[in-house]
Structure 1
């Protein structure tokens, strides 16, 4: 015991793992990723995502932040990074992060109409490849690891 600001205090106990704790290895999708349109030569980041997913787990979790080039993508325009929309800087959690065989499907609702937008990605070497879909378009994407 010791005294801090006139109050008797007990030292904090070290946290120990639970006896029945099971550690799960991260899946190939786990980590931080920079999302770009596959055909954008300038590789402008549409969004940044952080995924938490354990190998063999039926679902995961993730967060996203949208960048200015996402305005072009959501409108189905060439990626210039010069468009303006209310989505710039929006951050939130994915509604779903679900593996489907070799794919990981991420569902989110970034627009005011609440329509689902989807990223469906699979491993391709050190990166992920797939598609961004909203109710009006499908855009091929590439995800590069940032961690």
Structure 2
């Protein structure tokens, strides 16, 4: 998309607005469009305070829209395809991790780290709950005496 890292280190909305307004595609916008871009930049700073990449992406989208170069249908279709692919990859990675752990080819901790999930999520996927040690209830101990 455009240049990234538009926000200052603190990620202040005013710095983001200033940077957005100085982009070449913003220079030829009329005053109403410039006001909309300023609002979009402030909104991006508030929506994504800790992510300059998402801030810039939102500003690029606003610039595309204001310059009549946005295609919502194409971007929507692309987003839909990516979400479908994400679900397929998620199912694949989940199955690989569960099987690898079951076969002791990899530890739970390493598998969880490799696929960027919490180890407890991996345990749930494997059908494990709580601790892996089996404990006998006090009632069971009494009956065996």
Structure 1 and Structure 2 fold alike (TM over 0.5):
no
Higher relative contact order (CA 8 A, sep 6+): 1
By percentage of residues, which structure has more helix? 2
Could you tell me the TM-score, scaled by structure 1's length?
A: 0.22
Larger Rg: 2
By percentage of residues, which structure has more strand? 1
